[in-house]
Amino acid sequence: MDSKAAHYQRILQAIQAAADATALSRAVAPLLQETGFGASGMVDAETGEETRLSYLEIAECLMETDRLFFQKPIELLVMAHQRSKEIMLGVPPRPPEPEAPPPWQQFL
Protein backbone atom coordinates (compact mmCIF):
# COMPACT_ATOMS: atom_id res chain seq x y z
CA MET A 1 0.00 0.00 0.00
CA ASP A 2 1.53 3.34 -0.97
CA SER A 3 1.93 6.08 1.61
CA LYS A 4 -1.08 8.13 0.44
CA ALA A 5 -3.35 5.07 0.52
CA ALA A 6 -2.01 4.14 3.97
CA HIS A 7 -2.61 7.73 5.11
CA TYR A 8 -6.24 7.62 3.98
CA GLN A 9 -6.68 4.14 5.47
CA ARG A 10 -5.53 5.44 8.88
CA ILE A 11 -7.98 8.34 8.64
CA LEU A 12 -10.81 5.96 7.70
CA GLN A 13 -10.03 3.71 10.67
CA ALA A 14 -9.93 6.73 13.00
CA ILE A 15 -13.31 7.91 11.67
CA GLN A 16 -14.86 4.48 12.18
CA ALA A 17 -13.40 4.19 15.69
CA ALA A 18 -14.47 7.68 16.81
CA ALA A 19 -16.57 7.38 19.95
CA ASP A 20 -17.47 11.07 20.22
CA ALA A 21 -17.41 14.35 18.30
CA THR A 22 -13.99 15.30 19.67
CA ALA A 23 -12.40 12.06 18.48
CA LEU A 24 -14.09 12.47 15.10
CA SER A 25 -12.80 16.02 14.83
CA ARG A 26 -9.25 14.80 15.56
CA ALA A 27 -9.64 12.06 12.94
CA VAL A 28 -10.78 14.50 10.26
CA ALA A 29 -8.26 17.26 11.09
CA PRO A 30 -5.58 16.00 8.64
CA LEU A 31 -8.14 16.04 5.81
CA LEU A 32 -9.15 19.60 6.61
CA GLN A 33 -5.50 20.68 6.66
CA GLU A 34 -4.57 19.05 3.36
CA THR A 35 -7.64 20.38 1.55
CA GLY A 36 -7.04 23.94 2.72
CA PHE A 37 -9.96 24.21 5.11
CA GLY A 38 -7.84 24.07 8.26
CA ALA A 39 -10.98 23.89 10.40
CA SER A 40 -14.70 23.44 9.97
CA GLY A 41 -15.53 26.74 11.66
CA MET A 42 -15.26 30.38 10.65
CA VAL A 43 -15.72 33.51 12.73
CA ASP A 44 -17.62 36.44 11.23
CA ALA A 45 -15.41 39.53 11.63
CA GLU A 46 -18.37 41.87 12.13
CA THR A 47 -20.53 39.89 14.56
CA GLY A 48 -17.95 37.58 16.12
CA GLU A 49 -20.32 34.65 15.59
CA GLU A 50 -18.83 31.30 14.70
CA THR A 51 -20.28 29.44 11.75
CA ARG A 52 -19.49 25.76 11.44
CA LEU A 53 -19.68 23.75 8.25
CA SER A 54 -20.71 20.12 8.45
CA TYR A 55 -18.36 17.55 6.98
CA LEU A 56 -20.91 17.07 4.20
CA GLU A 57 -20.87 20.80 3.37
CA ILE A 58 -17.08 20.72 3.18
CA ALA A 59 -17.27 17.69 0.88
CA GLU A 60 -19.73 19.57 -1.34
CA CYS A 61 -17.34 22.53 -1.55
CA LEU A 62 -14.54 20.19 -2.58
CA MET A 63 -16.78 18.58 -5.22
CA GLU A 64 -17.46 22.01 -6.70
CA THR A 65 -13.73 22.77 -6.70
CA ASP A 66 -12.23 19.60 -8.20
CA ARG A 67 -14.08 16.33 -7.77
CA LEU A 68 -11.30 14.13 -9.18
CA PHE A 69 -8.41 15.72 -7.28
CA PHE A 70 -10.27 15.60 -3.95
CA GLN A 71 -12.01 12.25 -4.56
CA LYS A 72 -10.66 10.40 -1.51
CA PRO A 73 -11.01 13.35 0.92
CA ILE A 74 -14.60 13.80 -0.30
CA GLU A 75 -15.38 10.12 0.36
CA LEU A 76 -13.84 10.30 3.83
CA LEU A 77 -15.67 13.52 4.70
CA VAL A 78 -18.98 11.92 3.70
CA MET A 79 -18.12 8.95 5.95
CA ALA A 80 -17.25 11.37 8.75
CA HIS A 81 -20.62 13.07 8.27
CA GLN A 82 -22.35 9.69 8.53
CA ARG A 83 -20.33 8.84 11.64
CA SER A 84 -21.26 12.19 13.24
CA LYS A 85 -24.94 11.32 12.75
CA GLU A 86 -24.32 7.87 14.28
CA ILE A 87 -22.59 9.48 17.28
CA MET A 88 -25.62 11.73 17.83
CA LEU A 89 -27.84 8.62 17.76
CA GLY A 90 -25.60 6.78 20.22
CA VAL A 91 -24.33 4.15 17.77
CA PRO A 92 -21.10 2.65 19.16
CA PRO A 93 -17.92 2.86 17.07
CA ARG A 94 -17.04 -0.01 14.78
CA PRO A 95 -13.99 -2.03 15.72
CA PRO A 96 -11.25 -1.71 13.11
CA GLU A 97 -11.42 -4.39 10.46
CA PRO A 98 -8.34 -6.58 10.29
CA GLU A 99 -6.34 -6.20 7.13
CA ALA A 100 -6.98 -9.00 4.70
CA PRO A 101 -3.91 -11.06 3.90
CA PRO A 102 -2.62 -10.73 0.36
CA PRO A 103 -4.32 -13.22 -1.99
CA TRP A 104 -1.06 -14.97 -2.78
CA GLN A 105 -0.73 -16.14 0.85
CA GLN A 106 -3.49 -18.70 0.35
CA PHE A 107 -1.03 -20.72 -1.71
CA LEU A 108 1.55 -21.00 1.08
Q: Domain spans of the chain?
A: 3-93
**Predicted pLDDT at 30:** 93
Q: pTM of the entire structure?
A: 0.79
pLDDT digits (tens, 9 = 90+) for 8-19: 999 999 999 999
The full 3-state SS of 50-97, as one line of letters, equals EEECCHHHHHHHHHHHHCCCCHHHHHHHHHHHHHHHHHHHCCCCCCCC
What phi, psi does 50 have (nearest 5°)? -95, 130
Answer whether 11's CB lies under 8 Å from 27's CB.
Answer: yes
What phi, psi does 51 have (nearest 5°)? -115, 130
pLDDT at 87 over 80: yes
Residue 37 Cα distances to 12, 17, 25, 28, 62, angstroms: 18, 23, 13, 11, 10
